[in-house]
């Protein structure tokens, strides 16, 4: 698969915001990420075109997913970021930047159920600004999730 960004592009290590921080999602995040996923599984499944996470989703499956995301990040073909609280000790959700057939990138993000609400809008606006100022994409396709979609489809064209 081709790289999502040019070879000379410095991929951002993350994003710091007063309410959260983003950094590369890594296999070492498996247990904390799994806990956030399982808290939010019904909402995530309802918003997923593939029914993820499937009923019975296991920690081992999550670890395999995170290993794949980490490898894709290093290969520059997709970029998954974990969203942590400001202290960095609790997973609040994730942001995925993936190849797109419609735009420069497809972006999907989610916030765990116990933090969902105002934080979801804050995340969306912060990520939209980050993508506009720190990434090389002219067009972003925000994947409709059903729980935060202020403007469905492609924005920032």
Predicted model pTM: 0.92
User: Rounded distance, CA 33 to CA 101, Å?
Assistant: 28
pLDDT at 155: 52
Please give the backbone phi and psi of residue 48, each rounded to the nearest 5 degrees, phi first: -95, 130
> Hey, what CATH topology would domain 15-155 get?
Aminopeptidase (3.40.630)
Contact by Cβ (8 Å): 48, 41: no
Half-sphere exposure (CA, 13 Å, Cβ side) for 124? 21
pLDDT at 85: 96
Classified as helix, coil or strand, 93 is strand
User: Rounded distance, CA 145 to CA 17, Å?
Assistant: 23
The closest of 26, 12, 23 to 72, measured between CA atoms, is: 26
**Domains in the chain: boundaries:** 15-155
pLDDT at 61: 98
pLDDT at 100: 94
pLDDT at 145: 52
Residue ranges of the chain with pLDDT lower than 70? 144-157
């Amino acid at each position: 698969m081709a790289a999502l960004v040019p070879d000379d592009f410095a991929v951002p290590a993350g994003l710091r915001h007063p309410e959260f921080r983003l950094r590369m999602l890594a296999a070492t995040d498996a247990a904390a990420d799994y806990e956030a996923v399982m808290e939010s599984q019904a909402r995530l499944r309802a918003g997923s075109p593939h029914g993820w996470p499937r009923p019975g989703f296991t920690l081992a499956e999550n670890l395999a997913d995170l290993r794949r995301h980490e490898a894709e990040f290093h290969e520059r073909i997709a970029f998954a970021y974990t969203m942590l609280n400001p202290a960095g000790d609790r997973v609040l959700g994730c942001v995925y930047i993936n190849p797109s057939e419609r735009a420069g990138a497809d972006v999907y993000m989610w916030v765990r159920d116990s933090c969902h609400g105002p934080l979801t809008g804050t995340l969306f606006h912060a990520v939209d600004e980050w993508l506009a100022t720190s990434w090389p994409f002219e067009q972003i396709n925000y994947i409709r999730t059903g729980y935060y979609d202020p403007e469905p489809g492609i924005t920032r064209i």
